[in-house]
Amino acid sequence: MKALPGATASVWLTVADGDTAPAARSGDVPVLATPRLLALCEEATVAAVAPFLEEGETTVGTRVELEHLAPSPPGAVVEATAVLMEVEDARLVFTVTARQGATVAGRGIITRVVVDRARFRAGAGLPTDQGRRPGR
């Protein structure tokens, strides 16, 4: 993996009923569920480094620190942006920010690790694949 600090990506989500807390079983108010916000932020981290991965590499999440700061109702558009802040061997540390317009809906730090996809799948008891990279 050859990514350098500063690599960035943004992804967007229009909140639908399936993205809400009741759908995720994480609450009873129909706004963007925190687990769905986290998934959106992780999607941005994956996209930020996808162009830099070598054949057979992927990343896996290992640590998350996330503040969910504002509610986003169905129909709201939420943009999550990840910025790679630190690369230490296989360890990647990102800052993530989710915005609904000018409002910061969430922010945090996500750590991922670069792994050999086939070895990781085998260690999890899964069949190996052909090394397909996300987003490609």
Catalytic annotation present for 65: no
The CA-based angle 126-65-69, given to 5 degrees, is: 125
Is residue 81 part of the annotated active site? The answer reads no
- Cβ atoms within 10 A of the Cβ of 118, count? 16
Catalytic residue among 8, 34, 95, 97: 34
- The Cα diameter of the chain in Å comes to 44
Which residue in the list 20, 43, 58, 68 is annotated as catalytic? 68
Count CB neighbours of 69 within 10 A: 12
Q: Is-catalytic flag, 68?
A: yes
Three-class SS string for 35-83? HHHHHHHHHHHHHHHHHHCCCCEEEEEEEEEEEECCCCCCCCEEEEEEE
Catalytic residue among 42, 57, 58, 81: 42
Active site residues: 34, 42, 68
